[in-house]
Structure 1
């Protein structure tokens, strides 16, 4: 494990063609959390996101909490690849829901960084199997000059559509300049709609803190976020 997750015991990780499944010790079927990595990530980068120590750590944390953790690679290689990345996420959701170890009606998405906009369509439709959506240091809306399908990937506009859907936002003090106003707007829209939103602030952490070595306050915040996810999935 990376230094940040040194206190997390490795778990059984089963590798499939498109995703890794991190298994809890308890017999299934269990709720699952699907970790959606950020980007853009160059196509030729090695190791690829599902093999990053941070996501192995998150998968192990989810399994230790009695959830099935899903990590995978999607094709967000440039800012114009959001549609194909969204297709990859949809495919992994369907694969996950069919796993014998997974309760297909209790699924959460947890999106990181540039993966945030991919959740917008799920905030808008709130399918019955989706029990929670989490975000960690995300961007939540495309920039104004982005030439793609802005409404499809605008989580700020979508957050008020289903206020009852539990949502989690983990914010850091040292954040990318462009990301901050999208997070502020997301919180504002959620509060005005009376949405179920939990916000966890980590003032002394930076974007991508999991790769920056030990940070006790950030580790405590991650544990709190996992506890929130467990509670949301077990309602």
Structure 2
């Protein structure tokens, strides 16, 4: 994502956590949740209201930031590719919104803020390229299933197109990888034609990202419904 700072992905995840991790568990801890449920509102209403409010905060926070970044980059470099910049900003907004949905779901699933933070941070560390847990566990398991070996193809092989199809799809399952690669794909649109195979990977990875956020929200909703307040 050459149009934005490389480590922007870390700030986006941190923003989602900061804005949403107390969405439901904070209300439960303070006692205001019982008050709200005493009004003509269901647990589903509360969860949806919290989700909409947190997503609104994401939009209000990121849009001015994107405008400022665009103005600064335009003044420094004498102009920016507006279409690519707009698409990348939209992608980052969507990406952060999915993580926010995930965090709201986790917030609804647990009764303790510490458990919420532990689940969120554990999930991020699992996907993080720094810890390499994804490579050592998920990639090795898929390699064992598809190739009969725990040795996974190298990234150099992927870059030259010599890696098997399963490797690319499993790699693009990782939401942190998805953030970077979709951003790079957007910035490269003006230079190269897009192969259909790459488009299938793109939609596959975005679908996996949506399932991650929606799945967490659904699990949180189910657990929230079962809790006796």
- Normalising by structure 2, we get a TM-score of 0.25
Higher strand share: 1
